[in-house]
Structure 1
Amino acid sequence: MPSSPLQVVGGHKDTIELDEDDMLIKTTNPTELDFYQSVNIAHSIYHHIPHFYGALKLHSAPNPPSAEDAPKEAIVLENLTDYFSIPNICDIKLGKVLYDDHATPEKQQRMEQSSINTTSHATGIRFTGFKVWNTAKEDYDVTDKAYGKSLTPQQLPDALRRFIPIPHSLTIKQLKFVVSSIHSQLLSVRDAVSLMPFRSISSSILIVHEADSDDFLEEQAAMVKLIDFAHTRLTDADTPDMNILAGIDTLIDLVYNYKEYINQL
């Protein structure tokens, strides 16, 4: 049975998983903390982001103490993988623009090149990492962010099929249900984002789906959530955030085309 599956996906080394409490502790910045503290049930994306349980300070015990060992702000979030027996996990960064207004000119230039040199600029998405359960070896096959950075827009369907491969640990019937559920949830996320008064830079879509055919439940077959809000701010804007909507639209098309393909099997 897998353990701590979320920690390495997409390079999230700032996350600590608490299996006994079904929670995650993630180091954060004031922008992300303010976002989680501000979003409530009246906001359209409330049910499309991880549940926020609160904030805390992470302390170390340095000897001797140093400035680097000062307490770090952290947020306590819902562990989205806890609903699955064997979770397959994919992290997809959204947006063509990957820097916010507070970035230095040097960082803006660096992030612009990162967008242009990857699929971000042309499509609004970049696969940043995924883990797929390998039944034969009873362990995960891990794909890191280098793979996602190497892709061309034309290769994005290959990336999706690498995350949801055929053959799969699930049956074809179960797999069809998973892909259909992911597509439906992405449409719901898009509707929510189109109504949300915010601007989000470098947020991601997290997709989790069940890989255990024996413990497969249709009501918990897959989960799609928006995550990573270190550069996200609520605004008074009455227009949607087209930067991430472009990426969500790309992802919806990818999943829809794959759904049509596997429905013919």
Structure 2
Amino acid sequence: MAIKPFDSSKLQVFGNAAAGHDGVLSDESGAIVVKPCTAAEISFYETVASSHPDLLPHLPIFMGQLSLDSASDVSEDTGTIQTSDGTTERLHGKKLATDLHIVLENITHGFKKPNILDLKLGAQLWDDNAKPEKRARLDKVSAETTSGSLGFRIAGMRTWLGASPPEVPEELREYVELDKEGGYWAYNKMYGRKFSAEDIDEGFNAFFPQKSEAEKARAREVLAYFLGEVKDIQEVFEAKESRMYSASILLVYEGDVDEYENTKKVLRSARPETEDEEDEDETVPKLAAAKLIDFAHATFVAGKGPDENALKGMRSTATILKRLLDKAEKDA
């Protein structure tokens, strides 16, 4: 992926985040994201680059780090939500109190209308440095959601409205906001917390609309792709000795069904270009992408075996995608 130099003074608020912390920025082209990070996240990416090249296809491309002072920070507080039980919850995590930023490939770049699903991995969501009160808070979240039962939960979702916006059921409306400017339904982090292991398939239904025949065909293709990618991620991490607390699998596909079909035609007809002919400024359209993201609490731990905490979530995700794919194929 060719990335042009960018001017950090022109960074802007990143609008395609389905979950995560405040303070994420993007360059003018949209090809990269710049987000506040921990030193551990930088170290994790550097270790992957130097010692674990087999992980590179499954992570965003790492392009280094920046130090941005408060004058360069144009992030906005995304606010809070009042839930039905009277609890006040932030829509996103607080912006990290740091000037250190990591520069990464924007996984949603190349899509016209990206549908985005963030799946937070792990039943244990805190690392060894977490304070007792944080451990207790996150343990409560895990126990009350599919984080505990399945090893993952839906942390956020964005779906394009399209020509005929789907109706949001009454019982879900407190978790969903209409982004009129972008033309999306934005599902906040409380959406995923309402589902149990028994009804989690319903949590995915809004991400894979299947009203038209074109949408049904796309759902079958995208589900098959995601299943293969998640299994590949699972396989490679089964051979690693690592610990990743609160990492996520990010699933993205083209939400505009007409654009999806057009992109398929473009990709079928595309011919390999010589190096001299390649246009580095051209944005290659995409159909779907699946990456592992968010390594603020990640490290490699020699001698301690695979990360079964995160792997449980990967295996559960693969099981659910397979179930959804089987149903979609049966209904075809």
Q: What is the TM-score normalised by the length of structure 2? A: 0.72
Match among 48, 57, 63 for residue 39 of structure 1: 48
Cα deviations by residue, 1:148-202 (Å, 9 ceiling, x for unpaired):
1122111210011121122269532222111111111111111111122211101
Is 1:129–1:144's contact at 8 Å kept on the other side of the alignment?
yes
Quote the Cα distance in structure 2 between the aligned partners of 1:210 and 1:108: 37
1:95 matched residue in structure 2: 122
Residues 1:122 and 2:149 are matched in the alignment? yes
Change in 2 beyond 3 A, CA 1:61/1:212: closer
Maintained 8 Å contact 2:14/2:33: no
CA distance 1:11–1:102, shift in 2 (3 Å): closer
Q: Deviations over 1:184-236 (max 9, x none)?
A: 11111111111222111010010001112233235632111100000001121
Aligned residue for 2:291? 225
Paired residue type of 1:252: A
2:95 matches 1:29: no
Does the C-alpha gap of structure 1 residues 21 and 117 become closer, same or farther in structure 2, counting only changes over 3 Å? Answer: closer
Say whether the 8 Å CA contact 1:134–1:169 is kept in structure 2: no
Distance in 2 of aligned mates of 1:228 and 1:104:
20
Secondary structure of 2:158's counterpart equals strand
**In 2, are the aligned partners of 1:177 and 1:221 still within 8 Å (CA)?**
no
Deviations 1:41-73 (A, max 9, x none): 7513221011000101011239xxxxxxx9610
Distance 1:169 1:236, change over 3 A: farther
Counterpart pick for 1:17 among 26, 29, 32 = 26
Runs of 5+ consecutive residues of structure 1 not aligned to the other structure? 63-69
Q: What is the one-letter code of the residue matched to 1:105?
A: P
Deviation of the 1:26 alpha carbon: 0.5
Which residue identity is paired with 1:103? A
Of 184-193 and 218-227, more deviation after overlay is shown by 218-227
Of 38, 43, 60, which residue of structure 2 is paired with 1:50? 60
Q: Of the candidates 254, 258, 283, which is equivalent to residue 214 of structure 1?
A: 258
Q: Give per-residue Cα distances to partners, 1:5-27, cap 9 Å, x unaligned.
A: 423x1144231122415100010
Contact 2:37 2:98 (8 Å CA) reproduced: no
Unaligned segments of structure 2, at least 5 residues:
1-12, 73-96, 166-181, 268-285
Alignment of 1:176-187 (within 5 A): 176-187=220-231
| C-alpha distance in 2 between matches for 1:226 and 1:168 | 30
Give the Cα separation in 2 of the matches to 1:108 and 1:71. Answer: 22
Structure-2 change in CA distance of 1:30 and 1:188 (3 Å): same
Aligned to 1:67: none
CA contact (8 A) 2:242 2:305 kept: no
Note if contact 1:99-1:201 (Cα within 8 Å) is conserved in structure 2: yes
Kept in 2, the 8 Å contact 1:22–1:82? The answer is yes
Counterpart of 1:258 in structure 2 is: 324
Instruction: List structure 1 segments (4+ residues) > 3 angstroms apart after TM superposition.
Output: 168-171, 217-220
Structure 1 pair 12–209 and aligned structure 2 pair: CA distance change class (3 A): farther
| Identity, % of aligned positions | 30
8 Å Cα contact 1:133/1:169 also seen in 2:
no
Q: Over aligned residue pairs, what C-alpha RMSD do you find?
A: 2.3
Instruction: Please give the per-residue CA displacement for 1:28-47, whole angstroms capped at 9, x wherever unaligned.
Output: 01111111122127513221
Tell me the equivalent position of 1:157. 201
Bigger mean CA deviation after superposition, 123-132 or 230-239: 230-239
Alpha carbons of structure 1 residues 95 and 171: separation in structure 2 relative to 1, 3 Å: same
Q: Which range moves more in the overlay, 38-47 or 172-181?
A: 38-47
Deviation at 1:76, TM superposition (A): 0.4
- Answer yes or no: is 1:145 the counterpart of 2:189: yes
> Residues 168 and 160 of structure 1: is their aligned pair in 2 closer, same or farther, counting only changes over 3 Å?
farther
